[in-house]
């Protein structure tokens, strides 16, 4: 299986991997930190954003579409 390298853009939303079962969640790209990416993840179960955290570059999977955001009930206005 080949993987495609994504170069994330500042303040854009992506699907990120979490856990060992291949689950996904929406994350907001905030920048680079060390060898990884600084992101905030959307916690759909509690309708809130996490504090900024570092994830590995391989954990950014693909761009999130408007339909993905609507399905996950992502609320950008809760970022502050």
pLDDT digits (tens, 9 = 90+) for 6-16: 889 999 999 99
Q: Is pLDDT above 90 for 49?
A: yes
With pLDDT > 90 as the criterion, what percentage of the chain qualifies? 70
Report the DSSP pairing between strands 13-18 and 36-43.
unpaired
Number of CB atoms found within 10 A of residue 6's CB: 16
Average pLDDT of the chain is 89
Q: How confident is the model at residue 32 (pLDDT cuts 50, 70, 90)?
A: very high
pTM: 0.86
Confidence at residue 71, expressed as pLDDT on a 0 to 100 scale:
93
């Amino acid at each position: 299986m080949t993987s495609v390298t994504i170069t994330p853009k500042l303040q854009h939303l992506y699907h990120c991997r979490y856990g060992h079962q291949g689950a996904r969640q929406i994350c907001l790209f905030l920048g680079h930190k060390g060898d990884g990416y600084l992101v905030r993840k959307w916690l759909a179960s509690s309708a809130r954003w996490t504090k900024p955290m570092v994830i590995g570059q391989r954990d950014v999977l693909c761009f999130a579409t408007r339909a993905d955001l609507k399905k996950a009930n992502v609320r950008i206005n809760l970022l502050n």
